[in-house]
Amino acid sequence: MCGSFFALLKKDFRLMVSSKFFLLAIGSLILYTCYINFVYVKLDQEIFPVYLYDPEQTQDNVPDSLIPVSSLKELQNACEDGYSIGIDLSDGTAKIMMTSCGISKIDNLRHSYAVSKLSSGSAKEALIIGTNTKDMKSRREITAEFLFFELSAVGFLGLAAMLFKEKQMGVIRVHAILPVGKSAFTLSKLILILFADLFFSAILTLCNLGAAASMAVLPAVLLQAGILSLIMASFGFFCAITLPDFKQFSLLYLVLAVFITTPVFLAGQTGIVMDWIKFHPMYHLFTAMKNAYFQTPTTNVLYYAICLLSIVLLFLLARHGLNSEMKREG
């Protein structure tokens, strides 16, 4: 039995190599690492530029961070980007001028920030929470996002590519008459995808967070990566074994990418309020991944119980789909 299972692992590993699975993973790793280290961490957009129009120079102590303008028209033009804020003191009273960015919470924050620039009292020193620098915070954040979306695609697409290739080669028809259990046929693929995803997660984290920070977060990150990998790979197996051709599968993946993962990203990153997002299963996987990178791992027992149940159910569905496909193949 063990010999047959290891033969399956060896066969599936060769199939992954021939389907360029590892080559694509290496390419993604290089692309993500280069973008994070040479582009993303170097982005340094100033927070809410504030422009001041004060023709009568009523303000004695104008902060250096305020950008003076010479006319009301110039002030209006500067505030049209939905990000900058203007202060009009032409009639002696402060009027805040800005174009809405579409998110009320951020608009209120921009308004408060502009008003604080004219405060006559001495500013209170902010309490710094945590030890992350701006650079490290950016690295943790973008690495978590890249890893989440990479694992959401790799397990789903990678396993599907292997199965469709085996369908074309008639391998599934041959396996129907071999003394190898259907569970072993499914497990061999899931195990290889899992180990590949865990290795990718570890290398991506080490390359972008550094050795010291990576060692602190890797146990929690690998746990979340393993959960996400098994869920997506099992779901990909079921879809690939059930759908007749890769065209239908590609359409399903497009739906998955646009209508399932995109709302998760928008809710997690842009502050767009969506009350229903808490019922979205991918959202909880996404937040658990980000929490792991920021050293606040998810401890909710219900979350892990649901994940375990989902993995088991998806595995049983994948096994049932394989059994149906073998019967159909004869």
Are 9 and 192 within 8 A, CB to CB?
Answer: yes
- Strands annotated E in the chain: 50-53, 66-68, 85-88, 95-97
Q: Rounded distance, CA 79 to CA 245, Å?
A: 52
Which is nearest to 119 in space by CA: 197, 65, 173? 65
For residue 195, pLDDT beyond 80: yes
Residues 3-27: pLDDT tens digits? 677 878 888 888 888 878 888 889 9
pLDDT of residue 68 exceeding 80 = yes
* Pair type for strands 85-88 and 95-97: antiparallel
Question: What pLDDT does residue 32 have?
Answer: 93
Contact predicate 315/190, CB 8 Å: yes
Rounded Cα distance between 192 and 188, Å, is 6
Considering all CA atoms of the chain, what is the largest pairwise distance in Å, rounded to the nearest integer? 91
Instruction: Give me Rg for the CA atoms of the chain.
Output: 26
Q: What is the pLDDT of residue 127?
A: 62
As given in the structure block, the two tokens for residue 219 are 């146990």
User: Tell me: the pLDDT tens digits for 80-135?
Assistant: 888 889 888 888 788 888 888 777 878 888 888 888 877 655 555 656 666 778 88
Q: How confident is the model at residue 250 (pLDDT cuts 50, 70, 90)?
A: confident
**Cβ-proximal residues to 316 (8 Å cutoff; 6+ apart), any chain:** none
pLDDT of 224 above 90: yes
pLDDT at 227: 96
Residue-averaged pLDDT of the chain: 82
Give the model's pLDDT for residue 155.
Answer: 72
Q: What is the mean pLDDT of residues 281-295?
A: 90
pLDDT score, position 309: 96
pLDDT at position 171 is 66
pLDDT of residue 149: 86
Q: Tens digit of pLDDT for each residue in 144-172?
A: 989 998 888 877 777 777 777 777 776 66
Lowest mean pLDDT among 99-103, 302-306, 309-313: 99-103
Angle between helix axes 211-242 and 281-293 (nearest 10 degrees) is 160
Q: Which pLDDT value is given to residue 129?
A: 65
Judge whether residue 140 has pLDDT over 90. yes
Average pLDDT over residues 173-179: 58
Given a cut of 60, whether residue 71 has pLDDT beyond it is yes
CA distance 296 to 145: 16
Residues in a beta bridge with 53: 88
Domain limits of the chain?
A: 2-41+132-329, 50-117
Mean pLDDT, residues 255-262 = 73
Q: How confident is the model at residue 178 (pLDDT cuts 50, 70, 90)?
A: low
What does residue 95 show for φ and ψ, rounded to 5 degrees? Answer: -120, 125
Give the whole-angstrom CA distance, residue 48 versus residue 7.
60
Average pLDDT rounded to a whole number, residues 282-288: 89
Confidence of residue 206 (pLDDT cuts 50, 70, 90): very high
Residue 198: which pLDDT band, with cuts at 50, 70 and 90? very high
Listed residue (163, 192, 166, 180) closest to 4, CA to CA? 180
pLDDT at site 271: 58
- Minimum mean pLDDT range among 118-127, 273-282, 318-327: 118-127
